[in-house]
Amino acid sequence: MPSPAPTAPAAVRGSLTIRVGIVLLATIGFALSYDALRQMAVASHVRGLLTYLFPLVIDGFIAIGIVALLILRGAPLRSRLYVWALVGVATLTSIWANVVHAVGLNEGTHLLLNNATVGALSGIAPLALAGAVHLYLVMNRHLGGDGAMADETLATAPAESATSRQDRQVRHEETDDANSGVPAKANDVPMPEVKPAVAMTPTDKKAPRTDRRKRTVPDEELLTMARAMGAETGQVPRPALEKAVRAKGYSISKDGAQRAADTVRAELSAAKDAVAT
pLDDT 10s per residue in the chain (277 long)?
A: 555 555 555 556 778 889 899 899 989 998 999 988 998 888 888 988 999 999 999 998 999 989 998 888 888 898 889 999 999 999 999 999 899 888 888 877 677 888 888 898 889 888 888 988 988 888 888 876 444 444 444 444 454 455 555 565 656 555 555 555 444 444 444 555 555 554 445 544 444 444 455 688 788 888 888 888 888 887 888 888 888 888 888 888 888 888 888 888 888 888 887 777 7
Long-range contacts for 113-121 (Cβ within 8 Å, ≥24 apart)? 113/40, 113/43, 113/44, 117/44, 118/43, 118/44, 118/45, 121/40, 121/41, 121/44, 121/97
Contact 137, 144 (CB under 8 A): no
Determine the Cα–Cα distance for residues 272 and 277; give it in Å rounded to an integer: 9
Determine the Cα–Cα distance for residues 110 and 43; give it in Å rounded to an integer: 9
The vertex-202 CA angle with 198 and 203, nearest 5°, equals 90
pLDDT of residue 146: 42
pLDDT of residue 92: 94
Contact 38, 101 (CB under 8 A): no
3-state helix, strand, coil in the chain (%, to 5): 75, 0, 25
Q: Which amino acid is at 237?
A: P
Q: Is the pTM of this model over 0.85?
A: no
DSSP annotation of 89 = H
Mark residue 147 as left, alpha or beta (left: phi above 0; alpha: psi -120 to 50; beta: remaining): left
Determine the Cα–Cα distance for residues 97 and 101; give it in Å rounded to an integer: 6
The vertex-131 CA angle with 127 and 137, nearest 5°, equals 150
Contact 150, 267 (CB under 8 A): yes
Determine the Cα–Cα distance for residues 227 and 41; give it in Å rounded to an integer: 56
Residue 190 backbone dihedrals phi, psi, to 5 degrees: -60, 130
Residue 81 backbone dihedrals phi, psi, to 5 degrees: -65, -35
Contact 135, 65 (CB under 8 A): yes
